[in-house]
Structure 1
Amino acid sequence: MPPSIHPVDLISALRQKHLTPAIVFLTSRRACDEAMQAFDHSEALLPPARQEAIAKVLEQVIAQYPSIAEHPLIPTVQRIGVAAHHAGHLPSWKIAVEELMRHGCLDAVFATTTLAAGVDFPARTVIITQSSIRKARDFTDLTIGEVQQIAGRAGRRGKDLVGFAIVTPSPYIDLSVLTKGLTGHPEAINSQFVITYPMVLNLLKAHPLDQMQSILAKSFAQFQLNQRAEVIEQKLDDVHRQMEPYGPRVCTDWISQWHMFDQVRRQRHHRPAVQRHEPPEVTARFHFLSTGRVVGLSKTRGVVLRQYRSKGQKSAMVTVLRPDGAITECPAAVVTDVFDRILECHEAPSYPWCTPESFDSLLETLKELPGRLPILPILVSKDDEPIPDAIVQTLGDFSCPTCPSRSACQKDYANASKLRQEQQRHMKSIQALRTSLWHRFQERIEALQKFGYLTATAQLTEAGEWARLIRIDHSLLITELIRAEAFIGGEPSLLAAVMSSIAHDDDRPGMFPRISTGLGSLLGQVRKLAESLAPYEEPPLLRADIAAVTERWIGDPTLTWIGLCKMTTMAEGDIYRLLARTLEFLSQLHGLKGTHPELAECASKAIAVLRRGVLEELP
């Protein structure tokens, strides 16, 4: 594969073939910035008339958004007619690039794939230079939907009869991923419906508890869960048909009876089984970790090849095939997600625990699975206690030794037991899918009752009346901080800094200003409270260095935007989003004027100082 085409050569070729304007999709923000730097010494300047047209459009945009007047990319944009557009730029600069593109002033825009989905930004040509995208700290293949979103930007309505999607050579591109993306069907849309504490409070404020289950049943999320349940019900019907030859014999439930007899017979002359002490979540999940099940692990996925219990300790274990072909033995507790997907796998009695044909098929299928898979909701019973392997100590309590069906039971037990286990898994899956939303809603109610936001009859308490107004992430942590009076007598800069640390969810490293002693002490209290709430709400990152950025911006009203940017390695766009999100959180606190006037006043002061400079330009 030849090396990637140099940006200057690429744009030159597009101009010669009359394929401009174009959007060139690159893998990262850094790649976009480096592409722009490649034009610093380019001699292919635009005609004076086009440079004047770009200057005129920029002048109109700058009048509305003065912050971009001295943007470092403006000279290159005017001279060459190319620009960069990614999340690291200020929203005002991205608006300027979009306006230039709409007026036909640019020949090309270097962008990340985020541009493909969120903006009406067509061009005659799109250039695909990648088959993967950076998410968090890892690269993952583009999904079918993402490839089609990118290709869908090609062709301007009313201007182009044909749009062109061009794939350029690169040593890191996988053409099979792009081919599948351009010819396949997009991934199914999955509901992102999440039951939050404010949602529960506001629903109970408007409707009685006995109407909640019917309201949840009308949601798109429950509609999709019901569809998945119907598919499993069809599988359950098939298992029922396979179970018919193993119908009732002398014992009504001969499978359970023979299992008990066989366990007692095996353990009669052995030491008692080790008592297992596993969390209810692991016990419930282990039942579904059957052969072929796709599961989520830390930073990867895999397919279960077998489940077993370790000798001695009897710990729940699974053997998992990973996408890189590695087969690992790991405790069932390390499984993070159980997906609603089972792959066909023919078991084998020895390593690698499946046939060679199955191994190759599983590995290929695992690599081709879509990025998002539906997670199987698993209901955890709080009342279940582990049942001993043998509850009967003598074989004399069983009729099996003299039963006329003994030989048939012994012969059929292995197959019938597998079918019974599959039957039970399907029944539990259906129950979980049908009731998981309501079950989650009830869990939220129980937590709100425990913390005093709801009465025993699910009526809002005085605290619940104002807590329902906090409709942001980590709402339970914030309301508990308010009830603990953590912000009483605090400075606006400290309040805003803590809100920033709660709002920020990116662990990207970098250079940041140092925090004050007061902020460090306050964040220590917030961390302790967040850890205590971990069973009820996932704690935020609570990064002190991020909080220091907001503290410095509010603590020093004379600090300029450029001065703030020089204090950190964060991109301008990231700083803007951090402060904009902080404004959103502070506005929620400002809404508590009726119940917490001192806190609302502190939030109002923080908002007034925070909303200056760049943050004044956009709503």
Structure 2
Amino acid sequence: MPDIEPRGDELSGTAGPAEVNPDEAVGPELTAFAAGLRFALDPFQHRACVALEAGHGVLVCAPTGAGKTIVGEFAVHLALAAGTKCFYTTPIKALSNQKYADLVAVHGAAAVGLLTGDVAINPGAPVVVMTTEVVRNMIYAGSPALEGLSHVVMDEVHFLADRFRGAVWEEVILHLDPAVRVVSLSATVSNAEEFGDWIKTVRGDTTVIVDDHRPVPLSQHVLVGNRIFDLYEHAPHGPGKKGGREVNADLKRYIRHKMLTNDDRFSDSRGRGRGRGHRGGGGPRASRPDVVASLDRDGLLPAIMFIFSRKGCDGALAQCQRSRLSLLEPHEVAAVDEIVDKHLTDIAPADAEILGVEQWRAGLRRGFAAHHAGLLPTFRHAVEELFAGGLVKVVFATETLALGINMPARSVVLERLVKYNGEAHVDLTPGEFTQLTGRAGRRGIDTEGHAIVLWTPEVVPEQLAGLAGARTFPLRSSFVPEYNMAVNLLGRMGLAGAQELLHRSFAQFQADRSVVGQARKVDQARIRLRKTDAQLSELATARGIGRRDTEGDADNPGNGFLDYVDLRETIRRRERDLKFHRRVETNQSIVEDLGALKKGHVIGLQGRRHRGLAVVLEPAAHASDPKPLVLVEDAWCGRIDERDFVNPPQVLGNMRLPRHPDRSTGRGRRDLASALRATGIEMPRGRGNKRAPAADDAELKRLRTELRAHPAHRLDPGDQLFRLAEQRNRLLREILSAERDIASRTSTLGVTFSRIVDVLAELGYVTRTGDSVEVEDAGRLLGRIYSESDLLVTECLRAGVWEGLSHSDLAAVVSAMVYESRRDGAGGVDSVPGNPRLRGALTDTVEVWQRLNEVERRHRVSATREPDTGFSVAVAMWSSGRSLTDSLAAAGQAGQLLSPGDFVRWNRQVIDLLEQIRISVGPDAPLSTTAARAVGSIRRGVVAAELG
């Protein structure tokens, strides 16, 4: 276990066998490195660098903007000084690009390379910046680039909690050669010591540095209307009650006054007021231009305003452009034009209009811009450069900007404390709030940073204070075995080695630690159970019953009280089982009837989520999991399933509908609801069949007869024996539950891995012989495909369903493996017009997917997602040489409203997978030639400009 040394500055650390003293004389390399810095090292930076030069790995947890990357840059310095290699890894390509530029500025282009899947610059350099997936792939491929590697920097290592990509970080940490020093840089997490313990267990000597100190203090504010209030009372004599800080009384009074007077300045950006309970959409109480003007007036620019949607960011920019707001001086406007022109050199004039170049430039010339994933990367890069240079004063951004990109601001504004997570609107967590507001405060420029929340009626100051004051952000592993991981582990380590590596994962480490607490609970419960049993035995004997049949006294054999209690429990279980079977039968009927509903059928909803009449707008697409689209008489529109029914749905009537009912607008939904109510169809009364399933059960009748005949049945139900028996049963349930929890926590990874191996064995990727597993040629092919749909891609390659396609058709079908539509119901094969060869390949691909899903279902493995053809037409047109305008228009006709940034991003992913296919099938395969041609045809215009 690491030794933690608390310090007055909240610095803590651990080391290996030899303790690292932060006050010891620094080594020659740290002296040389520090001499080139513009500022002195902070204590946590000094301690981490001393540990690195002493030969230790390090884990550094510090707030956003504290300067963690200095430690990573020192690792680069050490590798160059020793003539070895350093990999600098990041979670996103934008951060890799930025870090590459930073290191080139210091060490020169000859010493630094960049690898991000679709970009390869100087890959043989001694220092290479790359996304984390690239180094993982190198390890599995046994790349010669790993030779001479001495340091690996893992920036934003807390990303291993990401449920989609987090396992990659653990794979790298587990697989790297033990001689490689890992430099892990993380945002502040509350379980840093636990994470450090794990790294020390799997990597050896590791120093853990935890620093909660911000180099630039952060002040919390609330903007109410056009007035900015401090969130907290000023406390010159220390913290307030209970170690916390008191909420500003003036702020609370002002909010109460405005709520009582219903001040119309609290209407949203369209001039509409909202009720106290509103939690959904709408703008801030002041318009965005007014908010920016308030920030400018109070000297709080430059600022980042986080708005949790692309549409919201673009809307905020449009509002500012329509206003008279201008934040730049004439000489600054000229500087903006110069930088913008530099970034537009690779943009074809013919594409300028559809890309909105002039409108984008007009906003920049007035000092404001949007920043989100839907923007063309060229635009984002220009915004980042202009903001860093003080030429953009306000950026309206989504939360992706908070992930490592160096765009420090004097203030950060949060428009809302709720965001959409892809499934529902949820409150920001303390960790997310800290990550976002951490961008405020520029080191060496600002004396303090400012975090500002825009007040709305749902913002309660006390709750906001709790959110701002919390620092709880536990790091939880998301490590789960996948197909590609499985074949690579089996190929490199064999079955026993793969299982051992799973046991060394952070996920298993955390599970084992939690099991210790659960085992302690079991021991304590067993002690209480023994005491309860003794009391119960003594009291039962006093009642003349005995404890058990086998333990009853000589005068009362066969009359044990616990046997009576067990009989009661048996009856309860029998009743529950009968009800369960009845419910299963009902649910099956509900599923069947839902699948049979047609467009225009009117049904009644009586579930917990929705109630009332509903008309079917779209029948269910899948009979096995039917989810028809309905509109309820209160104008709610959405998909329903068996959870919305107590009994099978009954068709109450029919309603005539237009061919394409308008369900996308509020007015259209209200008109449909009005027409539904006008049909005169009424909801049936009652809740349907309530027949008790136990009424005719012979076994249940026998058990009840036996219960009534038992001597204990004459006892008063309030007798202490029954209270002791209930206490005993409660303890038994607690023990059983804890033991199941222990078993599940310690075996989940192993069970998942075993099921995946079973799938691979059935499909011929591996061969199992007793306790050994051998990877076949197909498995080695799968091991070279790194995709969310890796097994489906490999199955299609094996089946030859993509052979003989043109290069543009191959690009189209490969895009279905990576693309994900932003709205439900889009992206089926039927959405691809014309081209019988392409439609046939897509149909064959879907059939391969369906067969694969059947295998996965049998082995209880999470299903591979369905191919999505929503981008197929657009990429096929682009690959065939059509214009950007035509390609984006084709996407729109297919129901996919793609921004230019999305278009480039999805093309990048298609290129990445095509390159994997080209390499995997071998240079002599015709498909390899087609894939190479497809890559070349896509890599042009705006896509080529972004790939470099």
Report the Cα offset of residue 471 of structure 1: 2.0
- Which residue of structure 2 aligns with residue 288 of structure 1? none
Q: Structure 1 pair 160/486, CA: closer, same or farther in 2 (3 Å)?
A: same
- Which residue of structure 1 aligns with residue 787 of structure 2? 472
Q: Are 1:600 and 2:928 counterparts?
A: yes
- Which residue of structure 2 aligns with residue 542 of structure 1? 867
- Which residue of structure 2 aligns with residue 616 of structure 1? 944
- Which residue of structure 1 aligns with residue 885 of structure 2? 562
Partner of 1:208, secondary structure, is helix
Q: Are 1:499 and 2:811 counterparts?
A: no
- Which residue of structure 2 aligns with residue 20 of structure 1? 301
Partner of 2:768, secondary structure, is coil
- Which residue of structure 2 aligns with residue 461 of structure 1? 776
Q: Structure 1 pair 222/561, CA: closer, same or farther in 2 (3 Å)?
A: same
Q: Structure 1 pair 222/156, CA: closer, same or farther in 2 (3 Å)?
A: same
- Which residue of structure 1 aligns with residue 408 of structure 2? 122
- Which residue of structure 1 aligns with residue 850 of structure 2? 531
Question: How far apart, CA to CA, are the structure 1 residues paired with 2:846 and 2:582?
Answer: 30
Larger CA Rg, structure 1 vs 2:
2
Question: How far apart, CA to CA, are the structure 2 residues paired with 1:229 and 1:255?
Answer: 35
Report the Cα offset of residue 262 of structure 1: 4.1
Report the Cα offset of residue 595 of structure 1: 8.7
After superposition, what is the alpha-carbon deviation per residue over 1:486-539, rounded to whole angstroms, capped at 9, x for unaligned?
112122222222222221234426999853343333322322332332224423
Partner of 1:545, secondary structure, is helix
Q: After TM superposition, list the pairs within 5 Å mapping 1:279-318 onto structure 2.
A: none
Q: Structure 1 pair 256/429, CA: closer, same or farther in 2 (3 Å)?
A: farther
Point out where structure 1 has 5 or more consecutive residues left out of the alignment. Answer: 283-296, 301-329, 335-387
After superposition, what is the alpha-carbon deviation per residue over 1:273-324, rounded to whole angstroms, capped at 9, x for unaligned?
6995999xx9xxxxxxxxxxxxxx9999xxxxxxxxxxxxxxxxxxxxxxxx
Partner of 2:841, secondary structure, is helix
Question: How far apart, CA to CA, are the structure 1 residues paired with 2:874 and 2:385?
Answer: 31
After superposition, what is the alpha-carbon deviation per residue over 1:47-105, rounded to whole angstroms, capped at 9, x for unaligned?
21110111122233334677779624343234311111112101121111000011111
Letter in 1 for 2:737: R
- Which residue of structure 2 aligns with residue 52 of structure 1? 334
Matching residue within 582, 589, 592 for 2:910: 582
Report the Cα offset of residue 20 of structure 1: 1.1
Q: Structure 1 pair 65/150, CA: closer, same or farther in 2 (3 Å)?
A: farther
- Which residue of structure 2 aligns with residue 553 of structure 1? 878
- Which residue of structure 1 aligns with residue 119 of structure 2? none
After superposition, what is the alpha-carbon deviation per residue over 1:10-38, rounded to whole angstroms, capped at 9, x for unaligned?
22222222211111122321222122222
Matching residue within 292, 295, 306 for 1:11: 292
CA contact (8 A) 2:821 2:868 kept: no
Q: Are 1:427 and 2:713 counterparts?
A: no
CA contact (8 A) 1:155 1:162 kept: yes
Q: Structure 1 pair 273/144, CA: closer, same or farther in 2 (3 Å)?
A: closer
Q: Structure 1 pair 17/463, CA: closer, same or farther in 2 (3 Å)?
A: same
Point out where structure 2 has 5 or more consecutive residues left out of the alignment. Answer: 1-258, 260-265, 268-284, 538-546, 552-559, 588-606, 611-641, 647-697
Q: Which moved more, 1:216-225 or 1:5-14?
A: 5-14
Partner of 1:165, secondary structure, is strand
Q: Which moved more, 1:514-523 or 1:62-71?
A: 62-71
Question: How far apart, CA to CA, are the structure 2 residues paired with 1:130 and 1:65?
Answer: 35
After superposition, what is the alpha-carbon deviation per residue over 1:240-262, rounded to whole angstroms, capped at 9, x for unaligned?
23212244866599999556544
After superposition, what is the alpha-carbon deviation per residue over 1:396-420, rounded to whole angstroms, capped at 9, x for unaligned?
9xx9869xx9x99766433222221
Report the Cα offset of residue 39 of structure 1: 3.1
Q: After TM superposition, list the pairs within 5 Å mapping 1:119-158 onto structure 2.
A: 119-136=405-422, 138-158=424-444
After superposition, what is the alpha-carbon deviation per residue over 1:104-141, rounded to whole angstroms, capped at 9, x for unaligned?
11111111222123422110111121111122253221
- Which residue of structure 2 aligns with residue 202 of structure 1? 488
Q: Structure 1 pair 455/41, CA: closer, same or farther in 2 (3 Å)?
A: closer
TM-score (norm 1): 0.73
Question: How far apart, CA to CA, are the structure 1 residues paired with 2:751 and 2:387?
Answer: 50
CA contact (8 A) 1:131 1:177 kept: no
CA contact (8 A) 1:65 1:92 kept: no
Report the Cα offset of residue 593 of structure 1: 3.4
CA contact (8 A) 1:258 1:409 kept: no
Q: Structure 1 pair 263/114, CA: closer, same or farther in 2 (3 Å)?
A: closer
Q: Structure 1 pair 137/424, CA: closer, same or farther in 2 (3 Å)?
A: closer
Question: How far apart, CA to CA, are the structure 2 residues paired with 1:421 and 1:106?
Answer: 62
- Which residue of structure 2 aligns with residue 162 of structure 1? 448
CA contact (8 A) 2:562 2:725 kept: no
- Which residue of structure 2 aligns with residue 418 of structure 1? 730
Q: After TM superposition, list the pairs within 5 Å mapping 1:359-370 onto structure 2.
A: none
Matching residue within 98, 105, 109 for 2:391: 105
Q: Are 1:487 and 2:802 counterparts?
A: yes
Question: How far apart, CA to CA, are the structure 2 residues paired with 1:16 and 1:586?
Answer: 52
Q: Structure 1 pair 278/600, CA: closer, same or farther in 2 (3 Å)?
A: farther
Letter in 2 for 1:446: D
TM-score (norm 2): 0.49
CA contact (8 A) 1:142 1:177 kept: no
CA contact (8 A) 2:846 2:866 kept: no
CA contact (8 A) 1:76 1:82 kept: no
- Which residue of structure 2 aligns with residue 437 of structure 1? 749
Aligned residues: 515
CA contact (8 A) 1:116 1:153 kept: yes
Question: How far apart, CA to CA, are the structure 1 residues paired with 2:432 and 2:900?
Answer: 26
Q: Structure 1 pair 389/533, CA: closer, same or farther in 2 (3 Å)?
A: farther
Report the Cα offset of residue 265 of structure 1: 7.8
- Which residue of structure 1 aligns with residue 762 of structure 2? 450
Report the Cα offset of residue 582 of structure 1: 1.3
After superposition, what is the alpha-carbon deviation per residue over 1:311-357, rounded to whole angstroms, capped at 9, x for unaligned?
xxxxxxxxxxxxxxxxxxx98x99xxxxxxxxxxxxxxxxxxxxxxx
After superposition, what is the alpha-carbon deviation per residue over 1:155-183, rounded to whole angstroms, capped at 9, x for unaligned?
11111111111222335655555333211
CA contact (8 A) 1:455 1:461 kept: yes
Letter in 1 for 2:333: Q
Question: How far apart, CA to CA, are the structure 2 residues paired with 1:267 and 1:8?
Answer: 65
Q: After TM superposition, list the pairs within 5 Å mapping 1:388-399 onto structure 2.
A: none
After superposition, what is the alpha-carbon deviation per residue over 1:397-455, rounded to whole angstroms, capped at 9, x for unaligned?
xx9869xx9x9976643322222122111101101101111111111111111111111
Q: Structure 1 pair 6/451, CA: closer, same or farther in 2 (3 Å)?
A: same
Report the Cα offset of residue 264 of structure 1: 6.9
CA contact (8 A) 1:83 1:109 kept: yes
CA contact (8 A) 2:302 2:410 kept: yes
Partner of 1:39, secondary structure, is helix
Q: Structure 1 pair 108/299, CA: closer, same or farther in 2 (3 Å)?
A: farther
Residue identity (%): 26
Q: After TM superposition, list the pairs within 5 Å mapping 1:375-414 onto structure 2.
A: 412-414=724-726
Alignment root-mean-square deviation, CA: 4.0
Letter in 1 for 2:742: I
Report the Cα offset of residue 204 of structure 1: 0.8
